[in-house]
Amino acid sequence: MEQYELAEAADRAGISPDELHGLVDRGILEPDEAGRFTEADVRRVGVVQSIVAAGIPIDLLADTLRSGGFSLAFMDDPAYSLFTSFTSETFQEVSARTGVPLNLLIAIRESAGGVTPAPGDRVRDGELPVVTLLEFQLSHGFRPITLERHLRVIGDSLRRIAETGGDAWRSEVLDPLFSAGTIPTTENLVRVIWELLGPKLGADRLHRLRLWEDPTFYVEYLGE
């Protein structure tokens, strides 16, 4: 697991060292015994920024975390590694280094649903593989307008898949639970999933289901 000193962690999170130190002082972030931070800690900074931007006072957030009413531990889940930290290069600098047009680089973040970056904004780690692919395609004669259209179609398709999946989960799982007066806890959800899969798989193939609520808690169901 990669770890960072305070200054580098702050830089990767896009905040100042003093701001990161303030999060530690409030108990929102906890470095290890050597004072180092993980990539998940960098992601937690982004969550905190979003919560504060939504109007939740940071001291209220800190109190809620201390009391156990809320946790940022879910950012340790490998699934959230998709949300990568900042590199040291800006979009303008990457464009100059690779020859990829600036507007095409900006389309990478826009197509993923991000806010339109300024030329001086820094590129994220997870965006660099796409830059490499674009650089290769351009060197083999692909037109920028074609590549940009491709990026935006992929992004739009992924959003539609996510929206459709979310709608299906709500209409086919959550709404029936609410209609039946059942709270959609992890325990109840794993039971409903069992009932949906059971007729399809058969008792001889479905033995146990494990549903993770976060990286530290799961519920197992054996059909009892």
What is this structure's pTM?
Answer: 0.70
Claim to verify: residue 97 and residue 147 sit in the same structural domain: yes
Boundary (domain end) residue, out of 28, 50, 82: 82
Residue 224 lies in a domain: yes
- What is the C-alpha separation between 64 and 53, in angstroms, rounded? 17
- What is the C-alpha separation between 164 and 187, in angstroms, rounded? 24
How crowded is the C-beta side of 144, counted as CA atoms within 13 Å?
12
Helix (H, G, I), strand (E, B) or coil at 205: coil
Claim to verify: residue 12 and residue 76 sit in the same structural domain: yes
Residue 21 lies in a domain: yes
Residue 159 lies in a domain: no
Number of domains in the chain: 3
Residue 89's pLDDT is: 96
Structure tokens at 167: 């709608």
Residue 161 lies in a domain: no
Beta bridge partner(s), residue 219:
211
- What is the C-alpha separation between 210 and 87, in angstroms, rounded? 37
Residue 1's pLDDT is: 67
What is the domain range of residue 198?
A: 185-224
Got the DSSP string for 116-151?
A: PPPTTSEEEGGGHHHHHHHHHHHHTT--HHHHHHHH
How much of the chain is in helix, strand and coil states, percent to nearest 5? 60, 10, 30
In contact, 121 and 108? CB cutoff 8 Å: no
Claim to verify: residue 64 and residue 107 sit in the same structural domain: no
pLDDT in tens, the chain (224 residues): 689 999 999 999 999 999 999 999 999 999 999 999 999 999 999 999 989 988 999 999 999 999 988 899 989 888 888 788 899 999 999 999 999 999 999 999 999 988 899 999 999 999 999 999 999 999 999 999 999 999 999 999 999 999 999 999 889 888 888 888 888 888 888 888 888 888 888 878 888 899 887 777 889 998 87
The single-letter code of the amino acid at 146 is T
Claim to verify: residue 76 and residue 40 sit in the same structural domain: yes
**CATH number of the domain that residue 41 is part of:** 1.10.1660.10
Claim to verify: residue 76 and residue 97 sit in the same structural domain: no
Claim to verify: residue 74 and residue 102 sit in the same structural domain: no
Residue 114 lies in a domain: yes
